[in-house]
Amino acid sequence: MKCPKCQSDKNRITETIQHEEFTYRRKMCNMCFTLFRTKEEVYKGVLPQKPRKLTEPKQTEYQKHFATDLLKRFWK
């Protein structure tokens, strides 16, 4: 759940209340400290598709160096 003020998704739950079929939560944004409330309910529909992330794990220079070093040693 995004913060209504700064749109950050970093927040913490400060209180959870179960009432009838819903779950209510009090949350606090970790970025701007705004307090907001959320309501959670059972959803029977299809979940929206997550945008697929095709990010390859980036190798740091050190990892690259380490990998080539390892290969060099292996083929010696």
With binding defined as CB under 5 A, does residue 31 bind Zn ion? yes
Residues contacting Zn ion: total by CB under 5 A: 8
Distance from C-alpha of 38 to C-alpha of 70, rounded to nearest angstrom: 51
Distance from C-alpha of 15 to C-alpha of 31, rounded to nearest angstrom: 18
With binding defined as CB under 5 A, does residue 27 bind Zn ion? no
Distance from C-alpha of 6 to C-alpha of 27, rounded to nearest angstrom: 14
32, 35, 67, 70: residue in contact with Zn ion (rule CB under 5 A): 32
With binding defined as CB under 5 A, does residue 3 bind Zn ion? yes
Of 37, 44, 1, 39, residue with least CA distance to 18: 39
In whole angstroms, the minimum distance from the beta carbon of 10 to Zn ion comes to: 8
With binding defined as CB under 5 A, does residue 5 bind Zn ion? yes
Judged by the rule CB under 5 A, the positions of this chain that interact with Zn ion are 3, 5-6, 8, 29, 31-32, 34
